[in-house]
Amino acid sequence: MRIPVNLATEPFRQDRGLLAACTGGAAALFLLLCGLAYGILAERNRVADTRSAVERLSNETRLLDAEQVKLDAVLRAPENAVVLERSYLLNTLVARKSVSWTRIFADLEEVMPSNVRLIQVRLPQIDSQNQVLLDMVVGAQNPGPVIELLKKLQESPRFGPATVHNSVPPTDNDPLYRYRVSVNYAQKL
């Protein structure tokens, strides 16, 4: 019988594979660290460029705001009040004239169901953001087609959400349900 006896102070171990795997892992982690450091530096440079662009644009905005304040002061001067008022009136008239009735009716024809009648369209109102508000009265034999019209108006890119202000049931003289509807109209002015 043989008994293995090792008289060395440190027994022999086979650590070469483990050392090679640890060295490879350390090298991969070092390369990953270098890549991350490069990415951080590149991002820092990009952010610095963005900050300088934002600062430049902010300075331009401040200059334009200061110039606008000066121009507003000139326009608000008492000697220019008549010209400003006349200019506002003419701009309002031009904006109203720029609304095309032909285009309004063509766009309404695309969304209007065949069993809904357009009874009345009031003069479009234009707000300060150049949005056109249509106020109209529509009629139908029953409420279903008007609901379909409201859905089509909302889904249309030319119109926005519609608001029903009131409804009138049929009478002996008028067999139609009448609805007063307001809707934003996106015609380019």
For the full predicted model, state whether its pTM sits above 0.85: no
Backbone angles phi, psi at 151, to 5 degrees: -65, -45
What pLDDT was estimated at residue 8? 65
CB 138 within 8 A of CB 117: yes
Instruction: Please state which of the four CATH numbers 3.40.640.10, 3.30.70.2830, 3.40.50.1000, 3.40.50.360 is assigned to the domain occupying 100-185.
Output: 3.30.70.2830
Label residue 7 by pLDDT band (50, 70, 90). Answer: low
What pLDDT was estimated at residue 189? 46
CB 121 within 8 A of CB 136: yes
User: What is the arithmetic mean of pLDDT over 5-13?
Assistant: 66
pLDDT at 175 over 90: no
Neighbours of 132 (CB within 10 A): 20
What pLDDT was estimated at residue 20? 92
Q: What is the pLDDT of residues 119-131, one digit of tens each?
A: 888 877 777 676 7
User: What is the arithmetic mean of pLDDT over 38-57?
Assistant: 94
Q: At what angle do helices 143-155 and 101-111 cross, to 10 degrees?
A: 110
pLDDT at 10 over 70: no
CB 103 within 8 A of CB 187: yes
Who wins on pLDDT, 93 or 189?
93
3-state secondary structure the chain: CCCCCCCCCCCCCCCHHHHHHHHHHHHHHHHHHHHHHHHHHHHHHHHHHHHHHHHHHHHHHHHHHHHHHHHHHHHCCHHHHHHHHHHHHHHHHHHHHCCCHHHHHHHHHHHCCCCEEEEEECCCEECCCCCEEEEEEEEECCHHHHHHHHHHHHHCCCEEEEEEEEEECCCCCCCCEEEEEEEEECCCC
What pLDDT was estimated at residue 94? 78
Q: What is the pLDDT of residues 120-162, one digit of tens each?
A: 888 777 776 767 888 899 999 988 898 898 898 888 888 888 8
Label residue 58 by pLDDT band (50, 70, 90). Answer: very high
User: What span, in angstroms and rounded, lies between the C-alpha atoms of 179 and 167?
Assistant: 4
Residue type, 163: T
Average pLDDT, the chain: 86
Who wins on pLDDT, 184 or 6?
184
